[in-house]
Amino acid sequence: MFNNSIPVMMYHHIAPTDKSINVFPELFEDQLRVMSTRGWKTISCDEFLYFNHNRNDKPKKCVLLTFDDGFADNYVFAYPLLKKYGMKAVQFIATDLIDDSDISRESFTALTHSEAWKVANTHERSTVMCTWKELHEMEEEGVFDIQSHGSSHKTPDLIQSGNYTALREDLSKGKAVLEKRFSKKIEHFAWPRGIHDEESRNIAVETGYKALYTTDRGANTSGNLEWINRLPVKCRKGKWLGNKLPIYSSSLLTKIYLGIRT
């Protein structure tokens, strides 16, 4: 029950704004520094799948870092810090929100989560969202593995209204666009806002996704690929994250910790 789980961390923003699902850049760097000094290895999506099926090969200290939505602050602040510490992460992208714009980030102004979403749904979205050029750069550098968040980011509405035909189209479109753009198989999908049900999970698997990521806290043991738990990372110093990783590496410690926490 010890070291039988792969902790998966969930980020959205790395920016000098407020603390709403955001980590300040200096605190993000401290988190990376602590992970590095304590011997934690960041893994890719392919490695995550491999270690799920080959637990004896899993490093004792490995972690999957995930980022949702594809906000431009990930390119401006997270990307160079991950490169600095030789670490990697996953970026879940809703393809309808990404443009082919060639935009300079020299005068980039970070917005809060709510402010960024207002702009993301306008023709000015490239000021707050990564561009295709930036996503390609980050993947080619081996820092971010680009995976799917669907196409519209409106899957919660489709699920709650029972419109599973449109849901299938959304998941299929997001997958197809990314596979064409990056010339690779897209097998990982994160549920926007963490909303899913049995029917939507079945559709995602039928669409070709092998790993489905939730916003639920918990351990990730073998055979858990259709319900992958993630820990939302707080705007805290690296010691906070460093103390959480051993807990979420153990199904037993995770169960005890969440039982006390709730």
Within a domain: 184: no
Q: Rounded CA gap, 247 and 114, in Å?
A: 31
Within a domain: 167: no
Within a domain: 68: yes
Classify residue 183 by burial, with Cβ atoms within 10 Å: 0-12, 13-18, 19+. Answer: exposed
Within a domain: 180: no
What residue type is 250 in one-letter code? S
The answer to whether the beta carbons of residues 149 and 190 sit under 8 Å apart is yes
Within a domain: 118: yes
Q: Rounded CA gap, 102 and 134, in Å?
A: 9
Nearest in space to 155 (alpha carbons), one of 217, 122, 204, 120: 204
State which residues form the domain around 118.
8-147+221-261
The upper half-sphere exposure of residue 169, i.e. CA atoms within 13 Å in the direction of its Cβ, equals 8
**Total domain count for the chain?**
1
Question: What are φ and ψ of residue 218, in 5° steps?
Answer: 155, 175
Within a domain: 176: no
The answer to whether the beta carbons of residues 254 and 5 sit under 8 Å apart is yes
Question: What are φ and ψ of residue 18, in 5° steps?
Answer: -100, -170
Render pLDDT for 51-80 as a digit per residue (tens, 0 to 9).
999 988 999 999 999 999 999 999 999 999
Task: Determine the angle formed by the axes of helices 238-248 and 25-37, rounding to 10 degrees.
Answer: 50
Q: Rounded CA gap, 231 and 24, in Å?
A: 17
Within a domain: 69: yes
Task: Using DSSP, state whether 234 is helix, strand or coil.
Answer: coil
Render pLDDT for 128-157 as a digit per residue (tens, 0 to 9).
999 999 999 999 999 999 999 999 999 999
* CATH code for the domain in which residue 81 is found: 3.20.20.370
- pLDDT bucket at 2, cuts 50 / 70 / 90: confident
Nearest in space to 64 (alpha carbons), one of 194, 196, 188: 188
Render pLDDT for 179-222 as a digit per residue (tens, 0 to 9).
999 999 999 999 999 999 999 999 999 999 999 999 999 999 97
Q: What is the mean pLDDT of the chain?
A: 96
Within a domain: 174: no
- Cα dihedral across residues 157, 159, 160, 163: positive or negative: positive
Whether the pTM exceeds 0.85: the reply is yes
